[in-house]
Amino acid sequence: MGEVLTLIKERHSARTPFDPKRPVARQDLRQIVEAARWSPTAHNMQNFEILIIDDKALLDRVGAIESHISEAFIRENYRQLSFSENELRQKKVGILGTMFPPTWTDPAKVDEAVRETSTLSQIIKGSPTVLIVVYDSRKRAPASEGDVLGMLSLGCVMENMWFMAQSLGISFQVMSVFGAEPVEEELKSLLDVPPYMKIGYACRLGYPIPPSARYLRVRRDVEDFTHYNRFGNKDAD
């Protein structure tokens, strides 16, 4: 049990570039998708498909797709940032502003930020393998309009793959921009994804160069979010 908790605590997003010349072994990829296979999904609908992209030429074409940051993201992201490690330790939630470009952390520069154009290659950062998780909203659990349970299922798929990659010593980062319009439209056209399928997210896998830098990670204390028998009751006795 201790080994499982250690794996959970060590899991982190690798934000540094990956070595494009060091591929992820096919047997390791097989174990990662096998972990996805056994993910819990609502009503066992198994509402996902996984595209494994490891062809260099295709990765280059995916990387050439342009993306833009939204104003909503910039403004909401700013409200969740801390600007010192001490501030982050006190808040116990959110992340450091130093992880983002300066234009993303200054409310006065929102207009400048949304005009910036980047490509997916800047997000993929040399990864030799990208997994794109697509889902079929027709495969939803009964009486779950809006498919909230389906979204929870995709989260379980993500977590299973992440833990397996972590156990194999493979770095992992989720890329939500792959599901944003018009990025999704271009990807679906390029990868022959059927119109009724949606891109949930993508994950980049690989080995960082240099080794992935450690950054401050915070969590609320258990006592902060647990309640006994009634909301607000913090007394376990």
- Establish if 77 belongs to a structural domain: no
- Establish if 92 belongs to a structural domain: no
- Establish if 151 belongs to a structural domain: yes
pTM over 0.85: yes
Tell me the residue range of the domain where 140 lies: 7-68+117-220
Q: Looking at the 3D structure of the chain, how many domains does it have?
A: 1
209, amino acid identity: I
- Establish if 52 belongs to a structural domain: yes
CATH of the domain at 150: 3.40.109.10
Q: Which helix (H) or strand (E) holds 198?
A: strand 197-206
Consecutive 10-residue runs of the chain (237 residues): their mean pLDDT? 87 93 97 98 96 97 95 92 96 93 91 92 96 93 89 97 97 96 96 96 95 83 96 90
Q: How many helices (H) and strands (E) does the chain have?
A: 10, 8
- Establish if 27 belongs to a structural domain: yes
- Establish if 161 belongs to a structural domain: yes
CA distances from 127 to 12, 53, 73, 124, 187 (A): 16, 10, 25, 6, 17
Q: How many CB atoms lie within 10 A of CB 177?
A: 19
158, amino acid identity: M
